[in-house]
């Protein structure tokens, strides 16, 4: 449960030169940076929720407040029944934070040694540790790699190992900050499948941030949309697309080439690749526009779909597109 959560960072101001340095030493001035402003939401147990926003929107700051790494400036937070900032042992045993750009494994040691250290920290009995290690490594398709030094693992293997380390204590609440960052397509798919299976087996609650929209569309039905520290949308992913994408993407395969000037008479031309033309057509006039395309152009095939979710989110965050819409 998050209620009116806020975070303000005081930033010291300093003028250049010796005078500015002395003034900064004796009479320091600050300006306030509002990173998160009065956001509220509740996530039920077992749900997987996407957390979307541009760089600097406040996503990571929010995750750090939810995990107790930084103290909120205002508002209330309860995670699994605990106040995160108190960092109680029971709370730490029930939660985990995975950041794609950070690592907890020791670089020069075999992965298994780092995992044993984590097992000792969480006081996991040896028998339980071996059982969980076998189960999670099988789910992640990591076996012989666990005996290699971390530095010799590929990026995808390291991310899998990081997930294994973060989940050894079987957390029921999982915060994921860019877990597929920098991974190739195959590794991304493997991580998504693992997270789906972990959620299914253990009914873990997951809050996920990602710049790869395939992570969100594959794993999450509900999304939170944050912009400049404010929560702009909380709801169904498909409803977000319906509500904020006034266009449909129409792909038309022609049997003969048509000049671009003529194609533009039928709607906004998104791209032309040989005989394949993609239009963006307004929803309210879609039927009429398609009928005109079929009647006047040499169409051999036609398909209609929503624009990619990345494009929709990008438009929402462009200047002015959020105003009066959310």
Mean pLDDT (10-residue bins), the chain, 326 residues: 93 81 79 92 95 87 94 94 93 90 86 92 93 92 88 89 92 92 86 92 93 88 91 88 80 93 91 92 90 93 83 67 50
**d(Cα 255, Cα 257) in Å, to the nearest integer?**
7
Residues 172 and 131 in one domain: yes
- Domain assignment present for residue 2? The answer is no
Q: Are residues 284 and 230 in the same domain?
A: no
| pTM, rounded to two decimals | 0.79
72 with 202, same domain: the answer is yes
Q: Which helix (H) or strand (E) holds 150?
A: none
Please name the helix (run of DSSP H) or strand (run of DSSP E) that holds residue 287, with its range, or none. Answer: helix 286-296
Contacts of 22 (CB under 8 A, 6+ apart): none
pLDDT confidence of residue 318: 65
H or E segment at 76? strand 74-77
Which residues sit opposite 52 in a β-bridge?
A: 225
The answer to whether residue 198 is domain-embedded is: yes
> In this structure, what are the phi and psi dihedrals at residue 80, rounded to the nearest 5 degrees?
55, 30
Same-domain pairing of 145 and 271:
no
In a domain, 22, yes or no: no
Nearest to residue 311, comparing CAs of 262, 245, 254, 251?
Answer: 245
pLDDT at 91: 94
**pLDDT for the residue numbered 289:** 92
The number of distinct structural domains making up the chain is: 2
**Which of 189, 209, 241 is the last residue in one of the domains?**
241
pLDDT for position 266: 92
């Amino acid at each position: 449960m998050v209620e009116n959560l806020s975070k303000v960072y005081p930033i010291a101001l300093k003028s250049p030169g010796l005078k500015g340095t002395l003034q900064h030493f004796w009479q320091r001035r600050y300006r306030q940076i509002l990173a998160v402003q009065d956001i509220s939401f509740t996530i039920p147990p077992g749900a997987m929720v996407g957390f979307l926003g541009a760089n600097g929107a406040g996503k990571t700051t929010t995750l750090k407040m939810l995990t107790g790494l930084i103290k909120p400036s205002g508002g209330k937070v309860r995670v699994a029944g605990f106040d995160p900032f108190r960092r109680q042992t029971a709370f730490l045993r029930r939660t985990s934070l995975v950041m794609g750009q950070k690592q907890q494994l020791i670089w020069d040691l075999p992965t298994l040694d780092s995992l044993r250290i984590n097992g000792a920290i969480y006081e996991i009995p040896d028998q339980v540790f071996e059982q969980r290690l076998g189960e999670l490594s099988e789910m992640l398709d990591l076996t012989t790699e666990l005996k290699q030094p971390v530095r010799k693992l590929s990026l995808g293997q390291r991310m899998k190992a990081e997930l294994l380390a973060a989940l050894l204590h079987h957390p029921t609440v999982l915060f994921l900050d860019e877990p597929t960052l920098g991974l190739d397509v195959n590794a991304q798919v493997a991580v998504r499948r693992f997270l789906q299976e972990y959620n299914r087996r253990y009914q873990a609650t997951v809050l996920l941030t990602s710049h790869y929209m395939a992570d969100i569309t594959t794993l999450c039905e509900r999304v939170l949309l944050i912009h400049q520290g404010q929560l702009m949308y909380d709801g169904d992913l498909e409803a977000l697309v319906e509500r904020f994408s006034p266009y449909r993407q129409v792909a038309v395969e022609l049997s003969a080439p048509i000049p671009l000037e003529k194609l533009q008479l039928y709607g906004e031309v998104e791209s032309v690749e040989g005989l394949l033309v993609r239009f963006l057509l307004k929803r309210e006039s879609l039927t009429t526009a398609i009928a005109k395309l079929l009647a006047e152009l040499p169409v051999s095939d036609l398909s209609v779909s929503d624009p990619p979710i990345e494009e929709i989110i990008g438009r929402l965050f462009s200047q002015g597109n959020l105003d009066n819409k959310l």
